[in-house]
Amino acid sequence: MGGEGSGFGIGDAVRRKEDRRHLFGRGQFTADLRIPRLQEVAFLRSPIAHGRIRAIHVPEGLRDRVVLAGDLRGARSIRAVTDAPGFNAADFPLLASDKVLFVGQPVAMCLAPSRAEAEDIAQAIDLEIDELPAVVDMEAAVRPDAPLLHEGWGRNVFLTREFEAGDLERARAEAAVTIERTYRLNRQAGVSMEGRAILAHWDDRLDELVVWNSTQMPHQVRYALALHLDLDEHRIRVVAPDVGGGFGLKNIVYPEEIAVAALAAQVRQPLRWIEDRREHFLASIHCRETLYNVTAFATAEGRLLGVDVTVQVDAGAYATWPNGPNMELGMAIKNVPGPYRLEAYRARGWTAATNKAPIGPYRGVARPGACFCIERTIDEIARAVGREPHEVRMENMVRPDQMPYRSLTNMLYDNGDYAESVRIAADLVDVASVRARQAQGEADGRLIGVGFAAYTEQTAHGCGEWITRGVPIIPGYESCTARLMSDGSLQLLVGIQSHGQGLETTLAQVAHHELGVPFERISVRHGDSALSPFGMGTFASRSMVMAGGAVARASRMLAARIRPIAAQLLQCTPDAITLRDGAAHGPQGSVDFAEIGRVAYVRQEGLPRDAAPTLDVTATYSPEIDTGVFCYSTHAAVVAVDPGTGTVEILDYAVVEDCGTIVNPMIVDGQIVGGVAQGIGNALYEEIPYDTSGQPLATTLADYLLPGAPAIPGIKIAHMCTPAEHTEYGMKGMGEGGAISPPAAIANALRDALADTGAELCETPMTPRRVLAAILAAESRIHAREAAE
Amino acid sequence: MIRREIALEVNGRSVHASVEPRQSLADYLRDGLDLTATHLGCEHGVCGACTLLLDGEPVRGCITLAVAAEGRRVDTLEAFDEDPLMNLLRQAFSEHHGLQCGFCTPGMLLMARDIILSDRVASDAELRVALSGNICRCTGYAGILRAISAAREAWQARPHAATGPA
Ligand code: FES
Ligand code: FES
């Protein structure tokens, strides 16, 4: 291959192309764009969780600065319809005109030359709402007496699901150990450092709507705008400029975005909306809020026999576009078995509608909860049978000789050695020395403990898998146009979007590997619907495998076009040509890509008779299997907890993971650590509680805690590498994984630290208040038992 | 609308402006002077994305009023294109993967430069605390901490290290 040994190929820790602009403060985020006549938009939002709008009084003189639902023409409410059986659809209005269903729901748009003035206008509007009883708790929401959010629905339920495989009754009968638990992951937000943002203007020369949008999926946004506006898709261009983090929450098309685009097209006035942090907490998607009731059966040795689980998801008020809230439940049910051999499994669940912000995808989607459910339970089984949790884990895992292994929930685990990842993790945190230290006790009176959590993560899944999820858009492929220019430099135009993942670098590494064009002469252009062929975007741990595959394929198509031209110039046969170091090499000599490019574009008399001019090819790529390739990992945490205050410190943290072939180890490790940091936030800090009237209680960074540098320990990382058999180079996706295990690993470490008290942490985030409550609850159980004896 | 006239020095140039008394310094720099390296991540003083220097001291541009900069010197990342220490930091951030999306980066760089110049941290734990007012959602801080340590070492090891400021 062309890039071997150059230091810029597959497997090399190449420094990122994207760094320079950011390091000089010259990134171009949506708020940084400058365009004449621009008006800024502020949204007036509902201050009430559930109510009926009686009147909207706009002060005299401001009416032409305020846009209400009835003022928008040719723009439709969002309707995310999925094929999930029994799914209840709920139109999400761009601007509410009748009912409001959550605090923060957009009601009016206010226009002014600056954000501050636009906010002044919003503040001057008098919004009269007749308040209705709010539905805030997901369990109360589904009771027959609960007020209904959506007229026409019998119950506040988006969808229900059931699944059963294997003989659960037999597992129950054979079990020596039965564990019953309730686990709760509380509601949180995604919190990209740049909030949502959109700038839309009508380009009169091209007669098209141009939309600059902080999104993970510009092509899907274009599709969505054509769907929701009276505009042909060829009149819409969507560009994602620099995007300051996404993590899933920018993988949605929001009502605010469609409203701004619609109005810009309608009034032919450049408009921009920049979300502020409070709006982010109110009305960007929320995530994670799930309740698991689990019963697990095991033998006296700790062999898992069966699992029976009920999953409840709190989806908030509306279904967002494209996928609505249905993925969370389906993926939870699919992923509870995790990396374990399981012979009997029953799962039931429902997704409730409540008067809270809609939920959506956030790094890990459902799997942090599923992992918490099974991994906390495995620990309880191990404790019940008196064994080391990591050993019980290893014995229950799918073995390499069983691969490929079809799970009960029909996921095809392709390869790897799950138990080995646990063994290495146990070595990295040195379980024996933690045990010795525990026996000795800590001088400061704190208690220490070690905990593990493993997962196997489906990544880069194709068409068939997405169909089973009932989603309306099937992201089963990616695309790339590769263009060797007349001077021998190379452009890659791709349909994904990169917002921190470093794909401007790694995709260039792939093309360099295939073609030998010098790395610095390759540029990757992404995030612009006018530039590249249609592509799905960056989410679901897919872009390196999918777009990397498309780049590999396009590069090979280009090589197949370059060879005959080089052969003609070098007077040899095309198969005698190798591509390396920016040139084509034949048996007798070499010709550099600049000469080949010159011939292909501007001196076509040098082309072979049957060769077409230009060097510009387009490829699409889907992995050879639909079922995805499984990246897996074990995390181990060592914590110290102060039993007097409930504060938790992470003393040591190790990640062992196998994402197959690694393209850029620096970037992979960066994704792991970044994911773990978010998982630690999930485990210990981040939460948006609501009061009983549906008011969110954390809407600033002062009351919603994000982990800062002192909260994230140094993370030890070890890689295993089992190349995937069905992707280019053996790559597997890995972007989300780091965020999956930390809540479970930390909860298990706390369980271990507090073993003598019997306290268990079954709810995230594990704040000092919750840790103390768990200790007190355990103590009162012990006292009650002693009193009874 | 009341406006106030102010005179200040921004990135080495003197500037006269008429601003609303409520306007933040960050908004004035971004909207009034098109200096967009100063990012806004929370606009309520917690995340540090808007860190800039006021008379050489790091402050949060989002909760500093433009009128409070009257007669003072303001420096944003745009002023440091040629700064030797900032260039060491740039190289280190790139080598140690101290940025992903880049949104927190300008604030991180200005804070990191101040930490190194003031020589106020001696250990990794102290560095973490010194950086705790700057939130990064992408990196988990590992690359940022490594980069700052590497740049600090390179800075202290530079020829004539003892003989003067940057
Ligand atoms: S934007 Fe100023 S501290 Fe967050
Ligand atoms: S690099 Fe994205 S917030 Fe720090």
| Domain presence at residue A184 | no
In sequence order, what are the beta bridge partners of A210? A201, A237
Tell me the sheet residues that pair with A70.
none
**Which of B36, B94, B138 minimises the CB distance to A674?**
B138
Can you give the pLDDT at residue A56? 98
Query: Residue A111 is part of a domain; what is its CATH number?
Result: 3.90.1170.50
Tell me which chain A residues have a C-beta less than 8 angstroms from the C-beta of B78: 25
Pocket test for ligand 2, best of A29, A193, A249 (most atoms within 8 A of CB): A193
Listed residue (A61, A177, A73, A176) closest to A121, CA to CA: A61
pLDDT digits (tens, 9 = 90+) for A27-52: 999 999 999 999 999 999 999 999 99
Q: Read off φ and ψ for residue A622, nearest 5 degrees.
A: -130, 140
What confidence tens digit (pLDDT) does each residue in A239-290 have?
999 999 999 999 999 999 999 999 999 999 999 999 999 999 999 999 999 9
Range of the domain at A569: 19-27+477-621
Answer yes or no: is pLDDT of A780 > 90: no
Q: Is B60 in the pocket of ligand 1 (CB under 6 A)?
A: yes
* Cα dihedral value A708, A714, A716, A719, nearest 10: 50
Which chain A residues are Cβ-neighbours of B133 within 8 angstroms? 708
**pLDDT averaged over chain A?**
96
Closest Cα in chain A, distance from residue B33 (Å): 12
Section A322-337 average pLDDT: 91
- Please give the mean pLDDT across all residues of chain B: 95
The continuous run of DSSP H or E covering A445 comes out as: none
> Of all helices (H) and strands (E), which one includes residue A263?
helix A255-267
Q: Are residues A52 and A73 in the same domain?
A: yes
Assess if residue A261 is contained within a domain.
yes
> Cβ contact (<8 Å) for B140 and A715?
yes
Q: Are A723 and A661 in contact (CB under 8 A)?
A: yes
- The reply to whether ligand 2 has any atom less than 6 angstroms from the CB of B138 is yes
Atom of ligand 2 nearest to the CA of B137: 3
Q: Is residue A2 scored above 80 in pLDDT?
A: no
Place of tokens 């390296």: B37
Q: Residues A202, A86: one domain?
A: yes
Q: Which of A569, A588, A621 is the endpoint of a domain?
A: A621
CA distance A579 to A513: 10
Q: Using an 8 Å CB-CB cutoff, list chain B residues near A25.
A: 36-38, 76-78, 105-106
What is the model's pLDDT at position A421?
98
pTM beyond cutoff 0.95: yes
Residues A262 and A118 in one domain: yes
Q: Choose the residue to mutate in B24, B29, B42, B111 for probing ligand 1, maximizing ligand atoms within 8 Å of C-beta.
A: B42
Residue of chain B minimizing CA distance to A116: B23
Residue A340 forms part of a structural domain: no
Q: Pick the residue of B100, B105, B109 with the most A CBs within 10 A to test the interface with A by mutation.
A: B100
B82-157: CATH topology: DNA polymerase; domain 1 (1.10.150)
pLDDT given for residue B166 in this prediction: 45
Cα B49 to averaged position of ligand 2 atoms, centre (Å): 9
Q: Chain B contacts of A714, Cβ < 8 Å?
A: 142
User: Relative to the alpha carbon of A242, which ligand is closest?
Assistant: 2
In Å, how far are A49, A195, A701 from A696, measured between CA atoms?
9, 18, 13
Residues A510 and A538 in one domain: yes
Verify that A771 and A735 share a domain, yes or no: yes
In a domain, residue A159? The reply is: no
**Stretch A6-28: mean pLDDT, rounded?**
97
Residue in A27, A667, A674 closest to B102 by CB: A27
Residues of B in contact with A21 (CB under 8 A): 102
pLDDT in tens, A641-687: 999 999 999 999 999 999 999 999 999 999 999 999 999 999 999 99
Looking at residue A404, its pLDDT comes to 96
Between strands A236-239 and A208-213, the pairing is parallel
For residues B4 and A112, give the distance between their C-alpha atoms in angstroms, rounded to a whole number: 21
- What is the pLDDT at residue A303? 98
Provide the percentage of residues in chain A whose pLDDT is more than 90.
Answer: 93
Give me the pLDDT at residue B162, please.
Answer: 58
Q: What is the pLDDT of residue A1?
A: 60
The 3-state secondary structure of A21-83 reads HHHCCCCCEHHHCCCCCCEEEEEEECCCCCEEEEEEECCCCCHHHEECHHHCCCECCECCCCC
CATH of residue A538's domain is 3.30.365.10
Same domain, A93 and A212: yes
Tens digits of per-residue pLDDT, A65-122?
999 999 999 999 998 777 777 788 889 999 999 999 999 999 999 999 999 999 999 9
The residue ranges of every structural domain in chain B are 4-79, 82-157
- Is A684 part of a structural domain of the chain? yes
pLDDT tens digits, A216-239: 999 999 999 999 999 999 999 999
B102-120 confidence digits (pLDDT tens)? 999 999 999 999 999 999 9
Distance CA A125, CA A496 (A): 41
A633 found inside a domain: yes
Mean pLDDT computed over A760-774: 97
Same domain, A616 and A730: no
Q: Do B101 and A677 touch (CB under 8 A)?
A: no
Tokens representing A476? 């089963």
Three-class SS state of A316: coil
- Would you say residue A171 lies in a domain? no
Residues A679 and A780 in one domain: yes
Same domain, A454 and A501: no
**Distance, CA of A551 to CA of A557 (rounded, Å):** 10
How far away is chain A from the Cα of B161, in angstroms, using its nearest Cα?
A: 24
**Residue B142 Cβ contacting ligand 2 at under 6 Å:** no
**CA–CA min distance A673, chain B (Å):** 5
Here the ipTM equals 0.97
Looking at the fold, whether A747 and A635 belong to one and the same domain comes out as yes
Question: Do A642 and A779 share a structural domain?
Answer: yes
Q: How confident is the model at residue A688 (pLDDT cuts 50, 70, 90)?
A: very high
Q: What is the pLDDT of residues A153-198, one digit of tens each?
A: 999 999 999 999 999 999 999 999 999 999 999 999 999 999 999 9
Question: Does one domain contain both A614 and A631?
Answer: no
- Residue A743 predicted with pLDDT over 70: yes
Q: Give chain A's domain count.
A: 3
pLDDT, position A67: 98
**CATH code of the domain occupying B4-79:** 3.10.20.30
Q: With 80 as the cut, is the pLDDT of residue A472 above it?
A: yes
Contact flag A116-B99 (C-beta cutoff 8 Å): no
Q: Give the pLDDT confidence score for residue A85 in this predicted structure.
A: 75
Q: What span, in angstroms and rounded, lies between the C-alpha atoms of A726 and A461?
A: 11
Put simply, the answer to whether B39 touches A24 (Cβ < 8 Å) is: no
**From B143, which residue of chain A is nearest by alpha-carbon distance?**
A670
Mean pLDDT, residues A120-135: 98
A152, part of any domain: no
Question: Domain boundary residue among A233, A266, A283?
Answer: A283
